Structure 1
Amino acid sequence: MGKFKKIKSRLFYKYFVSYLIIFLIPFIAMSVMVYHNSVVSLKEEIEQSNINKLKQVKDMTDTRMKELRKIAARISFDPQLTPYMVSHGYYGSEAIQELEKYKANSSIIEELFLYYQGDDVIYSSKGLNSLETFAQSIYHFDHWKKEELINDLNSIQKPVVLPADNVTINNNDHNRFITYLYPIPPNDPVSHGTVMFLIKESVITGLIENILGEFQENVYIFDEKNRILTSESNGNLINENNFDPLASSESGIHTAEIDDKEYSFVTVNSKVSGWTFVSAMPTSQFLSKFAQAQTLIIMTLLLIVVAGLVAATVLSIKHYRPIQSLFEYVSKKNSDVQGKKKRNELDSLRETIVGMFKDQKDLCEKVDSQEPFVREQCLMRMLKGDVKNNRDFHSWLETLDISVEDRHFFVLVISYNEKANGEGSVKIRESISRLFTEISFKGAVGYGIEIFYDNTVALIVNMESKVGNLNERSREFAFQVKSLLQNDCGVSPTIGVGSICGGIDQINRSFIEASAAVEYKLVNGKSSVIFFGDLVRQEEPDVWYPKDQQIKFVQGLKKGDQKVACEAVKNMIGSLTERELPIHILKCLLFDIINTVLRATAEMGMHQYMSRASELVEYDSLEDLHEKIHSLVIAVCNEVEKKKDSHNHELRSEILEYIRKSYKTHNFSLESTAESFKLSVSYLSRFMKEQTGATFTQYVWQLRSQEVKRRLKETDESIKEIAMGVGYMDVPNFTRKFKKAEGVTPGEFRKLYA
């Protein structure tokens, strides 16, 4: 429960209340059912048990009373017990014996008497006595006087039961008897005699004792006149002044307060005798078992409630803890979330997740917008050969859906003709770049990138290795590209095709070869497809070094590709080393290589390196010559890269200056800028990203945003005037964009910073 006290969260208590409600609904229903089926049923069983016990006494008493009636009826019709027979001197003894037999037939009769009205003698199983002597000396009743006794014997017309009374027998023996008077003959409106039964009170109370048990209970038997015939008690008898409500109560169970104490009464009425049987005991005892069961069930239910509270707490903690941990983790990563806890961690997390998805969506949009730049960077790196052992690079290729496993590659270099460099060149370049974003043909996919400084488009073709003849497929692909350019763009460029290579680290060599092949348009003519492999297959003297290496060297040097140029020099000198050539032939070939290096340097306009010719001719060995040429190649390639960077820097300055001058005009756009500089839209987008780190749109927005904020702070111009003053015609769209970037509307920004 220590954890429970530490948690102060609306969400936790929401969970707790929810689980508590889920627990309480079935628990209450179950409790009602259990209480009704157990406690209420037990109470009914206890009440019915007490009623049944009292009914048992009633039934046994009724049975005994019926027996007495039968005996009285048999006596009235017994010929040996007629007035004549009992008074006859000879037959009188037989009558006494007959009465003894009747007495013996009943277990409850202490003594029975036969009296005929008007007679002064009363007969019993022990003999006969004068009525006077019987009433005065032999049986003396405390509350039944002699005169009343004689009168009742002579006048009784219906059965009468007298309450238990103390009786003194022969002035010696004392006992309590219930007296039962039965007129004879039975059912006769005029009786001539009476049968009197004496029943010990203990006989009746013995029947009652069975139902008292261990309770402090009082049991009473009332006659028709609500007089107590007899009673039995395990405790204190109820005051006689309170008998009336007991005797007059109807059958069933009742509750009443007597002597400042609550009693429960069980009442049973006998239709046979007309008696009322009543048991009375303190309510606390009457329902003691019920109270015990009730207490037990209540304690059980309370334990279940406690268990339910514990379970609700444990479940609440169990389900709240992960959310709390997640909330704390998110709070550490994002301080804005902590302020939302006052509401609800789940709501805060929901808002955070919604925000994350929104940010992710924005990020995906940004990533999608950046994908062309990433794609072009990857393609450019492949053309430069900067891809060896680079895991990140391979991951980028997978993201761009460019497969490299079990693939072969070759490069097409497409050189524009005069039409593509003349009027409308931007649209033509744009259509060519759009066409070559991705092109596929018979298991080969090409990815194009514009090489602005060479006025060419390089197309890296990715072919499946196991589909058909690779050389035939490369030729088909090249002619298919030419056909597409003629049909879709209306141009017939020169296409140079490099050799097929088996990995992306060899693509730069195929690119150099394709670039070299394009230069042979002077020989093959414009609008032709030139394969580098066809060039190197021309017959050469056996003493000559490989022509393809010479071509690669020159083209690599012009492109500033150190790897290809140095590799070509190494291969050319190495091919001469492997042959056993006469020294004069070897020197001639070496001077031709030196001439090739110097000629290529001169053609590139790098005359400052011509002074190193004297160094090249003064070599001591092939290795020495190789090192000197290698050093010169490195210097020239570095100079080529510097020129490219210088060109890019100059172009960057011109473009940025143009943007700063034109961004406030309404017709200013990426397309108009590309048209002004004779660039394709895709190349200009990539160039801006490379040079500034931002896209064209982002860079323009930065300029416009800075100008808008300056005017909001320093001028009184309206929002509309400011928006239109920086090139926006759609003011609502400008307001939404400004709020998204700055977090406030332009009007709110002015209030904050003006």
Structure 2
Amino acid sequence: MRLNYFKSKLFLKYIWSYLFILLIPLVLMTIFIYENAVTNLKSEIEQSRLAQLTQAKVIIDGRMKELSEIASRVSYDERLTPYRVHDSIYSGEAIRALDQYKSTSSIIGEIYLYFHKDDRIYSGKGLNHFDVFSNNLSFQHWNKDALFRDLNNVKYPTMRPADIVSTPSGLHETMLAYLIPITPNSPNPHGTIMYLIKESELTGLIDSILGNYQGMTYILDNDGHILVDNRQGESLTSAEEKSLFNNLSVGIHDKTLNGMAHSIVSVKSENNGWTYVTIMPSSQFFSSVLHVRSFIILLFIIVVFVGAAIALVLARMQYQPISMLVEFAASKSHSKPSEDGSAPTGNELDRIRTALQEYSSRVDLQEPFARNHFLSMLLKYGSAQSLTPELQEAFNLEFDRSHHFVMVIGWEENEHNERQDMLELLNQIEFPELAAHGYGVELSQLDQLGLIISFNLSGKMDEFSHIQQIVEAVRSNMLESFDVSPMIGVGACYASPDLLNQSFIEACSAFELRVSTGHGTITYFEKLSYTPDHAFWIPNNTLLKLSQSLKQGSYDVAAQMIHSAIQSLQSSELSALLTRCICFDLLNTILKTASELGDHSMMQKIAPHMIYSNSLDELERSLLNLASEICNQVEQDNQKEEQSIIDQVVAYIDEHFMDNTLSLETVAFEFGISPSHVSRSFKEKMGLNFIQYIWQKRMEEVMHQLKTTNDPLKDIILKVGYLDTPNFIRKFKKETGYTPGQYRKMFASQDSEPGTGIDDE
């Protein structure tokens, strides 16, 4: 019969379930991937801006430091003293000196020298009266009086914000004025150096910061005033700039400006207190991931279609066994069909549930038989491990005690109903005071029952006494309940329920071999099987210890074992023939151990008279000689093996010392030995420890690379497996007395190839 799956509500429910299982995490994952892509891109751009701002800060700080150093040199230059400058003979030399200082820095547009209370100002172009200077070079927001006052009164380096400067030629340029009093850091300066810096010198550097992204870049002085700004795409009002910069902290921030989300990155110079700021609209980050969004949407659609197909296949696979179960349940069900012939109510799972309930009621009727059958198999074959947790729960059986044994209980001419009553009594009997419980088993003999006992041994009594008390408790129970004193055979006790079959055989044997056939007879197999045996044999543990001591090369322990065994033989009253036979155990153990160690020639070394020597003392000396020879050979083999392994370790290090993951642990793992053993044996062989040897190999390789190649130092250090470059340089200098750069230059003329440049590390 061909099924129409789509007519089943259960089948459709499975399809929708799989689709929801697919779609919910897929939608969440898609949103997460997209948001994560945007967030990561934003973070990368912001970190890049932070790095570029830091670089710009370092460059500008360096340029400002150059200007301060120039001012310091000017203040100490004899050619630029007030006397020499005012002297008509030396003034030309002073002007040329100023022009030379101007050329030392590319950032300087012009340099001016002014002495306090002077009416003249000096530059690389010549000498000008202050009135002429102020007329020729006028600032839009810095009038003549303010300029004169600032030149006379400035006490510390001051940068004027960018201002429009008019020149005599009619050009208008945006420039910054940087005033440095001379002598610098003096509380009473006698003059001022004024640098004119074109704004384009700084904005050119700033333009490289934003790259392809639009936004605004600012340089603020330590009072929060804008020195330089560069705007691409948008601008802020003065009020917005003031509000923003007054509360701006260093780092990366998100803020809404002009109704739009912006990313703000700022760094601050520790030298002059200037702050460098970039402000970019966050919307640019989203537009940068449009291709990611398109790819995600396409991937989402593909996954949905593929997922729908997989959901259909999985739903069909899941529904098919259910449909087969429904057909099977319908064929085996004893429930009567409805009078109108309509289909049963409920879905397929309800119909299966009804059928299982019917089967469960039938199983309950068969449970006692199944339980007895299982226990019978346990008595016959053992292997209690086959009893799964489900079967234990179903049959209410537990074999979690430490000791187990079996009893066979028999009686004479009891009626059948009494037999069933006895089985019910013994079905699950408990003795809490003895920490024991038992399970009755119906045997094939009508006048016998089996009883499996599990108990935990009490520390107050020995095992056999505990068993006796349990057996007496069972007998008393039966006597009290049925007025019957049965005959009981008791098997030996075992620690594992897997050996209950052996205990059952022993109990049967004890029951059959009982001395008396009267009522109340109890027979223990252990007493039947006990026979006194006074023969002397060397204990197995002595032979095992002898063998192991030979394998370990421990002659002292081996000698002790041989001596104690011979001494025991000498003190015994055995015949000479039996003594010699027992001695074969010692000899065979020694020969077998030698064979296991690979020495198959030991048999040929045995003298013919060894076993049949005149005395046990001579035999002991012969066995000790054999043991000594084996132990010496084992010691030599161990030394050779250890030496061979260390040679392999050294070869391995020589081959892999440039691997940064090389460590004592990795070498120990490679050769299957402990790190402490490697360390100790390595130092004994090489004369220096593991770390020192690797450092020496890497040092030799770095020296070789410095002398023969032009590779950068950092690449060389990384290539030899050392990750901490500064630490390597310090250790290199400590050992050689030179930095790597000095070492390379020292050997460059004799070791480097012609035409090869030298790095200056």
Give the number of the structure whose alpha-carbon radius of gyration is greater.
1
Output the TM-score relative to the length of structure 2.
Answer: 0.42
Output the TM-score relative to the length of structure 1.
Answer: 0.43
Q: Answer 1 or 2: higher relative contact order, Cα 8 Å, separation at least 6.
A: 1
